[in-house]
Amino acid sequence: MNHLQSIRLLEKSFLELYPESSLAPLHQFIGELEQLKPQVPACENKDWYKDAIVYSLYVDLFNKDFAGLTEKLDHLSQLGVTCLWLLPILDSPMKDAGFDIKDYRKIRSELFSLPDTSSPAEEQKRFRDFLDHAHQKDIKVIFDIAMNHTSMEHPWFLESRKGLDNPFRDYYIWNKDTEKYKEARLLFKGMCPSNWEKDGDCYFFHRFFEFQPDLNYRNPQVLIEMSRNLAFWLSQGVDGFRADAIPYIWKEEGTICENLPKTHTVVRFFRAVTEFLRPGTLMLAEACQKPNDVVAYLKTGDECNAAYHFPLMPQMFKAISMESAEPVKKTLSTEVTPEIPADSQWFTFLRCHDELSLELVYVNEQDRAYIHQNYCHQPQWDFRVGEGISARLSELFKKDVKKIKLAYSLMLSLPGTPVLYYGDEFGKGNDEAYYKEQIQLSGKDDTRFLVRGKVNWQEVENKLCQPDSFEAQVFGYLSNMVKSRQKFKAFGRGQMKWIEYKNNALLIYQRTLENENIMVMQNLSATDIVCDREGSVGEKDILGQELIYQNNTLVVPAHSFYWIQL
């Protein structure tokens, strides 16, 4: 999308959303973008995200502050990370781990270990210094930005609640009763009884917690102000954004208020802003929806560059438990996962800062019951009355190194850009102390806090120095897989072809791109599988593993895998 195309898309999107509104505020905003553009660093490789290894972390929980994170960039480079996804860093009361934002232009002061009296200029310099260090190590940086809602402590909302005549009243969705948007489902079932919260004589609308009021995008000023926030951070040097909760942005009476046509128009406006300022900016859709609905944010090529493949994640766990290739193969079939444009990309993950989600938007009741039964090893891990499991990767697999390796092999060799969750690279477990601490702070029994928590680096580094420790084994195997993957563009960009085999516990596929041809064989079962096809495919695979033969036929050991270059 070139400069002129971006301007046309901004105008077209604005008119679709606000046909009765003056274009003057838009043209003023475009003028601001023109002035800002020379300050925004250029991006040489526009589709860099296709080859990325993404690492997701909370700055303070990972290593105290940005200085601590900078100290650990060598650890991340050693692992093979090429992109950092910073979980919420913007100023927040921290009632929802930072997704409740009260200032979109300010990073929380404690993440710099600066006094409260520090100036915004000093904080911005510290952040730019961190970005420079990351970029010098060829690590790009994206961060979370909640586009659907703010904190109750945001200045806009504080003004909004003052009365009907306040100019910020229309920045949020207020009503005299709770009769509007009744078809909108409860996202936090068991934690929030309603999408409406009483405040004075009126109610305000929220899709998430009651301290996170939804923004009113029917007000064109809200769209422009939120776009200004994106522009500001691009001028600071960030490489992209994880656009949080975008399916809920636009509301209409008589609908479920999800994935509405004008939601896509808003997202196109945001994308046009980023393309205007810095082509190659990643817009990553956080859309917990069925693949057909998620693809809608990718298929036109002018909304998001990438999106999470939420349905694939639980099916990888199901496949390992069932010892069957079918859950993965069915999920990646066109019946479930539609084709996406060549410039787009799925982001895949095993674990993240949230629960192992089992929402019915992408699993059925049978899957939900099966996965819950086989992986919710503690009643405390239950999330939203059976809709998820709050547990880290090592806990889900009961610290079985072979199963953890197998799960990573699936994620790293299937199509998409892989996302690693901080601490999982050395088998971090659930954090009971942090969970209890956050209940006190937030007033919510949110079991997702179990999968967060601080890293004790002294303890971790001691374990990593012991080759036989659980932590060192997980880290060693994972870093080897990541670095091996990076040698072949086929994993991030290539085609995939299933290879059928009579034993459904053996999942085989080829990843191909130009002259690269890699066969991946994964034994999902607890017993060795002897392939019936004769012939040798070499002595070692690209991971450096010795290939095992029996009577000139290949043997794939239980819960093991090969990545073989053909």
Which tokens is 177 given?
A: 């009763």
**Active-site option among 100, 214, 244, 302:** 244
Task: Give 550's contacts (C-beta < 8 A, 6+ positions apart).
Answer: 530
Give residue for tokens 């860099």.
48
385: buried, middle or exposed (CB in 10 Å: 19+, 13-18, 0-12)? exposed
d(CA 385, CA 400): 27
For residue 145, the cross-strand partners are 243
CA nearest neighbour of 280 among 549, 49, 76:
49
d(CA 36, CA 231): 8
99 and 155 Cβ atoms separated by less than 8 Å:
no
Q: Is 16 a catalytic residue?
A: no
Which tokens is 412 given?
A: 């790293």
Radius of gyration of the chain (CA): 24
Taking the alpha carbons of 410, 411, 417, 422 in that order, is the dihedral positive or negative? negative
How many residues would you count in the chain? Answer: 566
d(CA 418, CA 525): 24
Give residue for tokens 């999470």.
308
**Active-site option among 286, 387, 431, 471:** 286
CA nearest neighbour of 452 among 351, 378, 308:
351
Q: Is 286 a catalytic residue?
A: yes
> How far is the CA of 451 from the CAs of 133, 280, 316, in angstroms?
28, 32, 19
Which tokens is 274 given?
A: 């980023």
CA nearest neighbour of 146 among 251, 270, 49, 57:
270
Give residue for tokens 């009365």.
163
d(CA 369, CA 314): 12
d(CA 151, CA 69): 26
Would you name the residues annotated as active-site residues? 244, 286
